[in-house]
Amino acid sequence: MTPAKFLYGVILVVVAALTPGCWDRREPENLAWVAAIGVDKGPQNDYLFTFQVLAPRALAGQSSGGSGSSGGGPGIVGKEQRGFEVYAVEAPDVVSALAITDGFIGRRLSLLHAKMLIIGEDVAQEGVTPVLAAATRFQEFRRTMVVAISRGSAHDLIEHVHPRLEADPAFWYELMNLWQKETSLVPVHRIHDFVINLEQPGLGASAALVGINQITPEELKQGEDPMPTDRGMPPSPGMALAGKLKRTGGDPVDFAGTAVFRGDRLAGFLTPEETRLTRALRGGFMRTPWSIEDPLDPSKRLVLMVREHRSPRKQIRRQGGRVHIDFRVFLEADIASIPSTLNYTAPNKRSLLERSVEEFVEREGRNVLRRTLNEWGADLFRIGNQLQGTFATNTEWMAFEWGQRVKEATFTVDVQFRVRRHGLTTKPAQHPPEEDER
Amino acid sequence: MGIAAQMRKGTDMIQHNVGVSGAVAMGVIFIAAKVFLAFPRTMAELGAQAAWLIVLIACLVSPIGWWGIRALLRQHPGSSLLGATEAALGPVLGSVANLMYFTFFFFTTFIVLRQFGANIVATVMPRTPVEASIFVLLLGIAYLAYLGMEAICRVSWLFGPFMLIGLAALLAGGYYTRHETNALMPFWGSGMGVVLGWGLVKSSLLGELLIFGIIAPAFRKADNLNRAVTWTIIISATVTVLSVIAYTFAFPHPASTAIGFPLLEVSRIIIGGRWLQRLESVFLIIWVFSAVIKLGVGLYGAAQCVAQVIGYPNYRHLLFPLAILIYSCSLIPSNLTQAVSWDAEILRNYGWTVSILLPWVTWLASELRGKGGERHDAS
């Protein structure tokens, strides 16, 4: 062996020995993994940061079936047990808050596996830019974290996130986001999307709306109707915002609706139904059950499994400073349920149903557009994104100030809807006529 | 072979030969590895939505520099760019010109080393001193340069496909995860004049093609050299343009002007469900390998230039002192932002004077001197 080869051999051994550990050594057993971060207004012009931290030992016990005492069996978590701890710290920013937790938590908190950033309603109303400053710059934050806006305090909400069917709340957050993506009743926007939409001129950012369910059993029986109808029609299941879903049992936190931003401030809320319409107008609408008024029997609702036939088209006309948008939406559906005895699979009835759905989506779509564009000045439909293509340079586009003109935009909505399949039966359920009907 | 002949060919070209595929892989990594740094962002700062257009124009203009080198090498068959420059301009002016080539390679190496070292600290190893990350990188770089161009090309050929596949997967993943439909609009971004102007100024984008002038004698046939350079230009231009386009789709303007580590951030936003995320670990492997090869080639080029200038027959003996110099100079920028701005505002704005202008001036001088010589003989 030549001296040079021996020298390089020594160097390789030294480098191999030093580099894997080196200065950045952080053993997993010294860390505590944060599942969700909550941000509320603090008492002194600062913030209250809440960290939902996974408790590995508790999780390990639950996943091995140790929850049997009060739960329903392996993997089912009892009410008394929880696989996480919640810590709250008052601090001017999240990085300082993490440092403060070192003073009373043995393990170092790590945000690397955090699933959700939950922003309290008060912070959202004042502006979220200071909170997002760390989220986009601090290396432990991942832009893939989902953003949600809490009705009321984010701290209280996180305290209530106690999944009954899951040991691991981080997994619960993932599952919630997974299904919400499919139903389109809640927008699943990650920090990356949220920040991009905030920064784009004129684009409106939006986030999932979450809340602690406050419906009491009495309210569930009598309750105020979130959408009173004067025709005896059952209310649409998509009209209640988070916290007001009519239900009992399960996880005490609701995901329902959208928090809409103008600039970095909260402008208003959209119901799950409006959220779905927003998705239909913007694109990316997945297969989702949609409860629609029966056109011939308004006391009943049909259920259609609706999906996008093709991406919606936006034709944008710009005349001087005014912008007009023609939306064309293409939807198709399978029939999932017909409570009445009417046969909507027959050609004449099917056309009637199709026209009825088209009118419904057009009418409600216009309402959503009026609220978001004309009332709040928030472009959730990527109109600005398409509009910028009508300018030759970025300077001209910036000078147009789309953000200031959103409220003046005019629009039309044209929906093309087709029933493609009838489900597993071809006719509605029939019942034999009663004696007095004979 | 005498020292003079050896110097004309270059000090590493006596024993080593390189093939077309290895040279292409080396050239592509040497040129395109800049996409892993702040390059996409600096382009976005200049061109806004038309950043890709600046890169495309620069790529189209860049080969002009290579044509100058090729013309010079044709005048001096069997010589390297350095040997041909010295033969064309004479020992004094030739050495000055070769020192300019040295400056290009040396500057490229230390400024890129600092950026790679600082990027590692800023993203994955925040507690490691930047000196340590630079030093560890430098060990690999120096060893690669010591092994010579044949080894560099072989390593590049081995790693190049992984880099291209990994980069393609990264860009496709970023696009799949999120893309803004009209991110490339308005077409002229910062303005037609601005975009065209910067496209020309940034024409040193493929300036690293100079390395092919230095290793020219290592090709068995002159035709192989041309094939290697052509493919290098095509692949490098495609990679850089597509990288900037994919970045602009994932981070549309104005966000594109504010991302510290563009392609790393693209890899961090990729999410294809519960099991397909956190792909930056794969990206980091590509990142570090590309950095070592790119910087190894830079150090090799710098050492060859010095060896030519001082008439020293073995460039390897210069690697150790040059590595120490590179280490020291890489720590001169007071922070990462300054290192990025030196790269963008000095190297990429004035690099064309070395990568394009100098070879053509040398060729012109050689042409004039050749004709002058003939006239002198005739008289």
A19 touches chain B (CB under 8 A): yes
Tell me which residues of chain A, numbers 397 to 416, contact chain B at a CB-CB cutoff of 8 Å: 397
> Which pLDDT band holds residue B202 (cuts at 50, 70, 90)?
confident
Give residues 371 to 400 of A whose Cβ lies within 8 Å of B.
382, 385-386, 388-389, 391-397
Whose CA is closest to A367, among A239, A246, A220?
A239
- Residue in B128, B181, B254 nearest the CB of A23: B128
- Compare CB distances from A394 to B143, B182, B253 and report the shortest one's residue: B253
Residues of chain B contacting residue A23, judged by C-beta atoms under 8 Å apart: 125, 127-129, 132
Residue B136 CA: distances (Å) to CA of A383, B114, B303: 50, 12, 20
**Residues of B with CB below 8 A from A385's CB?**
180-182
| pLDDT surpassing 50 at residue B318 | yes
* Cα–Cα dist B21/B157, whole Å: 7
Is the ipTM reported for this complex over the cut 0.85?
no
What pLDDT shows up at residue B40?
93
Instruction: Check CB contact under 8 Å for B265 and A143.
Output: yes
Kindly state whether A2 is in contact with chain B, defined as any CB-CB distance less than 8 angstroms: no
Q: Which residue has the higher pLDDT, A58 or A375?
A: A375
Asked if A190 is an interface residue toward chain B (Cβ–Cβ < 8 A), one would say yes
Q: Does A15 touch chain B (CB under 8 A)?
A: yes
Measuring CA to CA, how many Å separate B231 from each of A436, B63, B198, B224, B310?
88, 12, 25, 11, 33
Q: What is the pLDDT of residue A69?
A: 39
Q: What does the pLDDT look like over B118-152, one tens digit per residue?
A: 888 888 888 888 888 898 889 889 989 999 999 99
d(CA B104, CA B112): 12
Task: Judge whether residue A414 has pLDDT over 90.
Answer: yes
Percent of chain A with pLDDT over 90: 35
Least confident segment among A319-333, A373-387, B263-277:
B263-277
Q: Which H or E element spans position A302?
A: strand A301-319
pLDDT in tens, A66-80: 443 333 333 444 455
pLDDT surpasses 70 at A108:
yes
Asked if A200's CB is within 8 angstroms of B190's CB, the reply is no
Q: How far is A113 from chain B (nearest CA, A)?
A: 10
Establish if A367 touches chain B: CB-CB under 8 angstroms: no
| Minimum-distance CB partner of B125 among A24, A144, A200 | A24
pLDDT of residue A186: 87
DSSP state letter for A79: S
Q: How far apart are the CA of A203 and the nearest CA of chain B, in angstroms?
A: 12
Determine, for residues A385 and B269 on separate chains, whether the beta-carbon distance falls below 8 Å.
no
* B186/A394 Cβ within 8 A: yes
Query: pLDDT at residue B256 above 60?
Result: yes
Looking at every residue in chain A, the average pLDDT score rounds to 82
Confidence band (pLDDT; 50, 70, 90) for B113?
very high
Q: Is B291 helix (H, G, I), strand (E, B) or coil?
A: helix
Q: Do B271 and A190 count as a contact with CB atoms less than 8 A apart? A: yes
- Segment A345-370 mean pLDDT: 88
Residue B12 reports pLDDT greater than 70: no
| Cα nearest neighbour of B249 on chain A | A196
Q: Which residues of A touch B125 (CB under 8 A)?
A: 22-24
Do residue B268 and residue A382 have CB atoms under 8 angstroms apart? no
Per-residue confidence band for A387, with pLDDT thresholds at 50, 70 and 90: very high
Q: What is the per-residue DSSP string for A34-78?
A: EEEEEEEE-TTSSEEEEEEEE-HHHHHHHHTTTTTTTSSSTTPPP
Residue B356: strand, helix, or coil: helix
